[in-house]
Amino acid sequence: DPPGFPPGPRRFPIIGSKAVINYEGMKEMQKVYGDVFRTRVGSCNSVYICKYRLIREAFNKVEFSDRPSWKFIDFFSDGKEAGVVFRNGPVWVKLRRFLLRHLRDLGMGKSRLDDAILQEAQELVMNFKNHVDRPTNFPISINTAILNVIWQMVASRRYDLNDKQTKEFSDMMVKYQDDLMFLALPEFFPWLNYLPACITKRLCRVEQLEASAKLGKAMMEEVIAKHRENFDPASPRDLLDEFLLEMKAVEDSSKDVGDTPFNEIDLVRTIFDLFTAGYDTTANMLRWVILYMAAYPRVQLKVQEELDEVVPRDTLPSHQYRHRLSYLEAMIHEVLRVSSIVTGGVPHVTAQDTHFAGYFLPKGTMISGYNLACHMNPESWEDPEVFQPERFLDEVGKFIAPKVDFLPFGVGKRSCLGEALARMELYIFSAAILQNFKFASVSLEQPVDLSPRPISNLMFPKDQLLLITLREDETLVTRLYLKSLHQEHLSHRCHHAPPAGKAIATTSRKSHRHHSRNSHRHHQQEQPTAQ
């Protein structure tokens, strides 16, 4: 390590050092080495920043805003640097600005895209009905709904839930992400390059990746070709049209426009980037929401009571209801916090030699803003391991947006481009399914498994069986049981709650709700019945 480099665990030749693989591992290293430390995988150093203030300070600086120039990342674009996620310099700046502007204009986080998401939510609810009353895995329709929202935004197109091509595409995206990790191996273990080519190829899953990339590219190219056929420069319909418009401007320009992202390769890769960045993340966040609701039935019930109070049962929860659904918003924030789905963020590298937090970081040092450390910081979050949506509510039950130690979408110049879209999707999809369904573990003997399935820097939930039931179909017995459970809970927390049995017989649904809505300030932690 160069002089002044952050400290870290002992390094060994070839393999590197102890790595951060989970929360406990991170905490242990933070305790020994401080908020900024180094690990080493093979021959690559990686610096972890584990304090919110420092992550924000670093990621707001240009010199911390580059991505690693990994050759394997450009596999999809035939080895050419392209797209937005792993792009650096002025071309990245141009492309990021273009995307942000048009995503905003297309209604990201506003009402226009709201309609597209509502349509998908309706389809999702219809599809979930096929999975009720028997143990089921997460319905695959979650993937299709999320894919369709991106397709609508990019190319005004949606696919049927049962469409064969969608299934192929969705499988390909998941497989591509998993396989890509293997292609990364020679980047960290350069000696692999000296093995016979056929062995390295097999080890790095090159053939599988080639097949996935071919399929992905063919689909993108088909969509682009169709768009070109009826492209009207006077009225761009979607992001793809806006991109074609920029490409035309570059072609028509008599001046030298310098390096530009507006060309065919960047177009295909940028669309692919939006899928890789926005599909698995959002789909798995929705799965986390479902799992946490199944594990914490009382939280689920409170979300549903609030929904019943604010949104008419026969109406889908469009964005106009959002500001009145404080508990739902708090629940989503709490799931974002505890799941910390993009745990280590997407890697950055230093663009030049730099000094930071008392250390020297040479150009090209890989930096990870470790958001899980912030999300579990006891200085900001009381009992951080406890799942408690109430922490995001003020004393009158109104949602309060967190100001520090909350960065599921990153922070600074490279922060998530699709944050507003992802938030809108999480809100509408969670509200729509919780309005209609109840989620539970299959049995008390088979509790919900909230331990993550870590894949590189991501924390995805594990596949598992769940029980989905229709809310309208709840038998009177279940309803009474749930009410008594709830009432019992209130009488534990809230001294003025009436005795459980009596409340069922005499309390009207409205006043019952009144108790539950006002009681969250008395609540401590809701114990999961299934955990």
The annotated binding site for heme is made up of 416
Q: Does 240 bind ligand HEM (CB under 6 A)?
A: no
Tell me the CB-side half-sphere exposure of residue 277, using CA atoms within 13 A.
Answer: 22
Among positions 69-88, residues that touch ligand HEM (CB under 6 A) are 84-85
3-state secondary structure of 365: coil
Would you count residue 281 as binding ligand HEM (CB under 6 A)? yes
Phi, psi angle pair for 429, to nearest 5°: -65, -45
Q: How far is CA 358 from CA 3, 147, 191, 223, in A?
A: 12, 44, 33, 51
Q: Rounded to whole angstroms, how far apart are CA atoms 55 and 376?
A: 15
Select from 236, 410, 452, 528 the one that contacts ligand HEM (CB under 6 A): 410
User: Smallest gap, in angstroms, from Cβ of residue 439 to ligand HEM?
Assistant: 19
Candidates 236, 345, 452, 528: give the one binding ligand HEM (CB under 6 A): 345
Query: Whose CA is closest to 116, among 105, 103, 107, 125?
Result: 107
Phi, psi of 458 (to 5 degrees): -110, 150
**Interface with ligand HEM (CB under 6 A), residue from 124, 145, 155, 277:** 277
User: Which residue, 96 or 493, is less far from ligand HEM as judged by CB?
Assistant: 96
The minimum distance between CB 10 and ligand HEM, in angstroms, equals: 29
Annotated binding residues, written as ranges, equal: 416
Instruction: Report d(CA 526, CA 485) in Å as an integer.
Output: 12
* Minimum distance from residue 429 beta carbon to ligand HEM (Å): 11
Using the contact rule CB under 6 A, the part of the chain among 117-125, 181-189, 236-244, 406-414 near ligand HEM is: 406-414
For 369, phi and psi rounded to 5 degrees?
-85, 105
Return the residue of 20, 367, 416, 458 that touches ligand HEM, per CB under 6 A: 416
Please tell me whether residue 59 binds ligand HEM under the rule CB under 6 A: yes
* 408 lies in the site for ligand HEM, by CB under 6 A: yes
Residues 447-506 that bind ligand HEM (CB under 6 A): none
**Pair of tokens at residue 429:** 């999809």
Residue 297 vs 408, nearer CB to ligand HEM: 408
Q: What angle do CA 46, 49, 54 make, to 5 degrees?
A: 140
Query: Which residues, numbered 308-337, are part of the site for ligand HEM (CB under 6 A)?
Result: none
Q: Judged by CB under 6 A, does residue 157 bind ligand HEM? A: no
**Total of residues contacting ligand HEM (CB under 6 A):** 27
How far, in whole angstroms, is CA 177 from its chain's centroid? 14
Smaller CB separation from ligand HEM, 6 or 278: 278
Beta bridge partners of residue 440, listed in sequence order:
467
Helix (H, G, I), strand (E, B) or coil at 354: strand
DSSP string, 306-332: HHHHHS-TTS---GGGGGG-HHHHHHH
Segment near ligand HEM (CB under 6 A), from 69-77, 169-177, 269-277, 396-404? 269-277
One-character DSSP codes across 454-515? EETTEEEEPP--EEEEESTT--HHHHHHHHHHHHHHHHHH-TTPPPHHHHHHH--HHHHHHH
Q: Which is nearer to ligand HEM, 22 or 415 (CB)?
A: 415
CB of 273 to ligand HEM, least distance (A): 6
Three-state secondary structure call for residue 40: strand
Token pair of 129 as six digits: 């009905």
In this chain, which stretch among 186-194, 259-267, 278-286, 381-389 interacts with ligand HEM, using CB under 6 A?
A: 278-286
Among 47, 289, 417, 432, binds ligand HEM (CB under 6 A): 417
**Residue nearest ligand HEM, Cβ-based:** 418
* Residue whose CB is less far from ligand HEM, 282 or 435: 282
Q: Which of 117, 147, 244, 274 binds ligand HEM (CB under 6 A)?
A: 274
Cα(83)–Cα(137) distance, integer angstroms: 34
Identify which of residues 276 and 487 has a Cβ nearer to ligand HEM in the complex: 276
Residues that bind ligand HEM (CB under 6 A): 59, 84-85, 96, 150, 273-274, 277-278, 281-282, 285, 341-342, 345-346, 369, 408-410, 414-418, 421-422
